[in-house]
Amino acid sequence: MSEFNLIIGGERRAASSTFDVLDPATGEVFGQAPECSQALLDEAFGAAAKAQIDWKRDEEIRRSALREAANKMFASADELGGILTREQGKPLARAQEEVLGVGVWLQYYADLEVAPEVIQDDDFARAEVVRRPIGVVAAITPWNFPLILASWKIGPALRAGNTMVLKPSPYTPLSTLRMIELLNEVLPPGVLNGVSGGDELGKWMTAHRTPRKVSFTGSVSAGKHVAVSAAPDLKRVTLELGGNDPAVLLDDVNPAEVAEKVFWGAFMNSGQVCSAIKRIYAPESIYDDVVDALAAKAASVKVGHGLEDGVELGPINNAPQFERVKELVADAISGGARAAAGGGPIDGPGYFFQPTILAGLTDGTRIVDEEQFGPAVPVISYRHVDEVIERANATHFGLSGSVWGVDVERANAVADQLECGTSWVNAHLALAPHQPFGGFKWSGLGVENGPWGLSSFTEIQVRYQSKI
Ligand code: NAD
């Protein structure tokens, strides 16, 4: 087993204590992560502040360092993918894709052309809007996609001239620590620092005097605490939070054809995706066929240890999340829902849960109204399109949603009415570095990705030069 370290000022640093990281497919300890103390966190922020003095000066150096960083990731899919599968649970091929995705995101931000914004150039003056880095960034990530979600922060923050201290989730810290170690082979010391620990460490970070921005991805409840903690110091904040994405099927879809895509929109990463489909609305006229098609698909999927050949879905990542999914499914069934597929945990070690399709339930059931974040999805019947739009929007969440229909004009008209950051037609989870990603309402504050994500790591400065 390799040793995992904090990365501070370009150095591997041990902590005086460690905590266990489990393999969710076995429930056994896979590795030890260093528990970052307050003193070490101070050092990490100190190193980031020191490194920023030079890092902010030369954009071309930053762009070429990010290109090298991308190449590092393209060459590290096997190593990092293996660690990611062991601590997160996802199938190895998906874990390797996640690492390659990090490379794609870093490459995108290395290559992104940012045009100068001249807002006045006449006989009186030349005025330009320029973007300046904010300073040191505190970045905090969750356990479902630890690497790619980190890259959504690292790429734009570093390109803009900021430096960073990044903390992964205590459930999946090891792949991130190793990724940061590898990136430090091509980045100047102190530009990107990695620390690991529990929620308490996250609280120290958001309250720390050094960072000028907090970039947070995680749950709504933690996100609200982050916003409060950052407020007294007026730290800039980006929050990427939870979702309860609706998929609205229109009555002209072919249930068998649509089921395959909708299934993966819901069950990718065992449903542990912020913007996965979390409730499916099907019209009464084809409701039974939709449920049957989804159930057949769910029953045919291979669930198992992510390192096994042919596995399509891994376990739930951790015990509390496993208990939560169990509880929400049991609550739905005791309230009268029918498990058309699955319905409970899989016997044996690890946090495995049967891919579950729930039918015969409606809004007001916990698994419809709350974010389940696991491999269990309710299918809800509706009669009229206007009514389903209202129900889809009747939530505090607003991350994304999708509408499925053969008549794309009609589908687009419905998609226009969804209150969420991304509204797909005949797709779900189609994400790309150039698309801004963020949530309405409680699903977030600000966006990541694209030039908009880059702007969120900058302050606007007006450069005004008089000509008279
Ligand atoms: P979580 O909020 O429990 O933890 C996320 C991270 O925040 C962890 O690193 C944790 O240690 C840290 N943390 C927890 N409390 C904190 C606090 N008070 N101050 C500072 N840091 C704190 O979330 P999770 O269970 O790891 O992840 C699942 C959630 O993340 C789901 O709700 C999911 O929808 C959401 N998510 C959102 C996006 C998005 O881009 N919108 C992406 C992935 C996951």
Distance CA 28, CA 21 (A): 8
250 and 361 part of one domain: yes
Residue 156 counted as domain residue: yes
Dihedrals phi, psi of 179, to nearest 5 degrees:
-60, -45
Identify any residues that bridge with 193 across adjacent strands, giving them in sequence order: 165
101 and 50 part of one domain: yes
Q: Could you read off the pLDDT tens digit of each residue along the chain, which spans 468 residues? A: 358 999 999 999 999 999 999 999 999 999 999 999 999 999 999 999 999 999 999 999 999 999 999 999 999 999 999 999 999 999 999 999 999 999 999 999 999 999 889 999 999 999 999 999 999 999 999 999 999 999 999 999 999 999 999 999 999 999 999 999 999 999 999 999 999 999 999 999 999 999 999 999 999 999 999 999 999 999 999 999 999 999 999 999 999 999 999 999 999 999 999 999 999 999 999 999 999 999 999 999 999 999 999 999 999 999 999 999 999 999 999 999 999 999 999 999 999 999 999 999 999 999 999 999 999 999 999 999 999 999 999 999 999 999 999 999 999 999 999 999 999 999 999 999 999 999 999 999 999 999 999 999 999 999 999 999
254 and 224 part of one domain: no
Distance CA 183, CA 169 (A): 19
Residue 76 counted as domain residue: yes
The catalytic position among 43, 87, 98, 240 is: 240
* Nearest of 434, 441, 437, 410 to residue 423 by alpha carbon: 437
Going from the C-alpha of 264 to that of each of 179, 261, 297, 312, 377, the distances in angstroms are 28, 5, 10, 10, 11
286 and 416 part of one domain: yes
* Predicted local confidence at residue 1, as pLDDT: 39
Residue 462 counted as domain residue: no
Alpha carbon of 239 to ligand 1 centroid (Å): 10
Residue 451 counted as domain residue: no
36 catalytically annotated: no
Residue 439 counted as domain residue: no
**First vs last C-alpha separation in the chain:** 69
Last residue of a domain, one of 240, 259, 289: 240
Pocket residue to mutate for ligand 1, from 90, 98, 137, 219, most atoms within 8 A of Cβ = 219
Last residue of a domain, one of 215, 240, 265: 240
Q: Is 242 in the pocket of ligand 1 (CB under 6 A)?
A: yes
267 and 147 part of one domain: no
280 and 223 part of one domain: no
Say which DSSP state 428 is in: S
Alpha carbon of 221 to ligand 1 centroid (Å): 8
Residue 172 and residue 321 in contact, taking contact as beta carbons nearer than 8 Å: no
H helices of 375-466, where? 385-393, 408-415, 450-455
User: Which helix (DSSP H) or strand (DSSP E) does residue 286 occupy?
Assistant: none
Q: CATH number of the domain that 319 lies in?
A: 3.40.309.10
275 and 394 part of one domain: yes
Distance CA 275, CA 80 (A): 24
Q: Is 170 in the pocket of ligand 1 (CB under 6 A)?
A: yes
Say which DSSP state 329 is in: H
Q: Is 207 in the pocket of ligand 1 (CB under 6 A)?
A: no
Beta strand 444-445 with 236-240 is antiparallel
Q: Is 226 in the pocket of ligand 1 (CB under 6 A)?
A: yes
Alpha carbon of 142 to ligand 1 centroid (Å): 5
Q: Is 199 in the pocket of ligand 1 (CB under 6 A)?
A: yes
* Nearest of 104, 175, 181, 180 to residue 143 by alpha carbon: 175
Residue 373 and residue 271 in contact, taking contact as beta carbons nearer than 8 Å: yes
Tell me the whole-structure pTM to 2 decimals: 0.98
300 and 234 part of one domain: no
* Predicted local confidence at residue 3, as pLDDT: 86
Q: Is 324 in the pocket of ligand 1 (CB under 6 A)?
A: no
Burial of 338 (0-12, 13-18, 19+ CB in 10 A): middle
Which residue in the block uniquely carries the two structure tokens 């794609």?
Answer: 104
Which residue in the block uniquely carries the two structure tokens 């979600």?
Answer: 149
Q: Is 167 in the pocket of ligand 1 (CB under 6 A)?
A: yes
Distance CA 35, CA 22 (A): 15
Residue 20 counted as domain residue: yes
274 catalytically annotated: yes
287 and 184 part of one domain: no
Q: How many distinct structural domains can be found in the chain?
A: 2
Q: Name, in order, each residue with C-beta under 8 angstroms of 128's C-beta and a sequence gap of 6 or more.
A: 116, 117, 118, 119, 462, 463, 464
96 and 131 part of one domain: yes
Residue 466 counted as domain residue: no
Domain range spanning residue 97?
6-240
* Predicted local confidence at residue 441, as pLDDT: 98
Looking at ligand 1, which atom is closest to the CA of residue 444?
41
Q: Tokens standing for 35? A: 């528990």
175 and 315 part of one domain: no
Looking at ligand 1, which atom is closest to the CA of residue 145?
43
Last residue of a domain, one of 240, 275, 301: 240
Alpha carbon of 196 to ligand 1 centroid (Å): 14
Q: Is 323 in the pocket of ligand 1 (CB under 6 A)?
A: no
Residue 458 counted as domain residue: no
The catalytic position among 36, 274, 371, 448 is: 274
Looking at ligand 1, which atom is closest to the CA of residue 242?
34
Q: Whose CA is nearest to atom 26 of ligand 1?
A: 142
Q: CATH number of the domain that 219 lies in?
A: 3.40.605.10
268 and 225 part of one domain: no
